[in-house]
Homo-oligomer: A and B are copies of this chain.
Amino acid sequence: MSLDDLKALARPARTKVVLLVMDGVGGLPRAFDGKTELEAAQTPNLDALAAQGTLGLADPIAPGITPGSGPGHLGLFGYDPLQFRIGRGVLEAVGIDMAMTDRDLAARGNFCSVDAQGLITDRRAGRIPTDVCTRLCGLLEQIRIPGVDVIVRPVREHRFVVLFRGEGLEEELSETDPQEVGKPPLPVRAAVERARHAAEAANAFVAEARKILAAEHPANMVLLRGFSRYPKIPLLTEIYGVRAGVIAVYPMYRGLARLVGMEAVKTGDTVADEFGALEKAFGHFDFFFVHIKKTDSYGEDGSFDHKVHVIEEVDREFPRLLALKPDVILVTGDHSTPASFKAHSWHPVPVLLWSKWCRPDGADGFSERECRYGGLGHVRSAELMQLMMGYAERLTKFGA
């Protein structure tokens, strides 16, 4: 169903919804007992909720497709990731909590090394320390381009973000990274006429950067990629009329949530801190997105047991969420990150939805296995938002 259709159905309500995302929670069985991370974890609280709720499996993008963090979360927020695309420049900016405006064109930057002929000798400038990166970003920010403001921020090691702020800076641009050493950085080319102004600004920036960095070997040049404008996304407030808050330790997830109109809630770094932040903010919002990062981090590390421990930590804190008595709870992941696979994967994610209007599945617990038999069936992640809103009685009926 289109966002316009959903907007037409939205109606005011006093119900509260909590979307709890354990990043990369979906897993694969370990060898000795065939249990996934979620199945191996001792999760009495989630299991009890699963018995009363309705389960399902969700494909974040489409069957067989592995999502990045951006599309994975956009899907959970109800936006078809195939329709709403976020450029890598924007994602990088969002990831370091940079405030973007609709006059901004973002790019990912790398410091790199070039030789006397200007040919690239190291695309990552020997992974310079972050403090060097920070100092060099300060130098680059002195670049003046007529009619365009330049904002440069360090990310980590050799990586930075540059925002070009001005009128008519379109994003249809080629990248300067030739993706191999022994070649010179490429000029930025406009794929369409209307992007010519932006191409000129980017090329002017690169030319100035070359001069400014001349004596800074190994970081004596820059490469720019992923030119992208802040996407035009209808906000959750506009579509559903909900006031939405995000509780996330990592800035990228706060940034993604802000893209769709959520307000950031202050939180500490631990899972317990995040549940504490939820308690404090509970009166101020209708919709909460709580993001747990470390399930994914340990999945990527291949640490099955550590991922299990994070899930168990969430389960221990979970009664604090229940005590707030939200009307709808949805627990899921933005994608799977099986510890055995050590990376994001395409496997569908387990979904647990609870409200007083559920037809209980009577499940034994919350697991990929039980979710296969759930009453939600097999859905796309982008359909979960309308399910949450439906169960929260925030959508009126379609047609008479």
Contact = CB atoms under 8 A, between A and B. Distances in A.
A99 interface: no
Interface stretch (A134-142, A204-212, A261-269, A339-347): A339-347
Interface in A328-376: 338, 341, 344-348, 357, 359-362, 368-369, 372-376
B389 A64 contact: yes
A187 B81 CA distance: 42
A72 B65 CA distance: 23
A42 interface: no
A182 interface: no
A71 interface: yes
A362 B35 CA distance: 12
A387 B68 contact: no
Interface string A1-30: 110010001000000000000000000110
A65 B1 contact: yes
Interface stretch (A84-92, A116-124, A283-291, A308-316): A84-92
A66 interface: yes
Interface residues of A, number: 63
Interface stretch (A154-162, A165-173, A378-386): A378-386
Contacts of A397: 66-68, 344
A199 interface: no
A372 B373 contact: yes
Contact of A398 (B9, B65, B378, B391): B65
A40 interface: no
Contact of A5 (B36, B82, B396, B400): B82
A63 B389 CA distance: 10
Give the dominant DSSP class at A's interface: loop
Contacts of A390: 63-66, 346
Given A346-B390, A375-B372, A399 B67 contact: yes
Nearest to A358: B28
A377 interface: yes
A362 B34 CA distance: 10
A28 B358 CA distance: 7
Contacts of A86: 399
B68 A398 contact: yes
Contact of A63 (B92, B361, B383): B383
Interface string A54-71: 000100011111111111
A9 B377 CA distance: 27
Contacts of A357: 28, 338, 341, 345, 347
Contacts of A66: 390, 395-398
18 contacts: A1-B82, A9-B65, A57-B375, A63-B383, A64-B390, A65-B398, A68-B398, A68-B400, A69-B400, A86-B399, A91-B400, A338-B357, A345-B357, A346-B391, A348-B375, A359-B368, A378-B378, A378-B379
- Enumerate the 7 nearest inter-chain pairs by beta-carbon distance, A residue then B residue, closest first: A377-B378, A64-B390, A68-B399, A71-B399, A64-B387, A64-B386, A66-B397
Given A62-B383, A66-B396, A67-B399, 6 more contacts: A63-B376, A63-B379, A67-B398, A68-B397, A361-B372, A368-B375
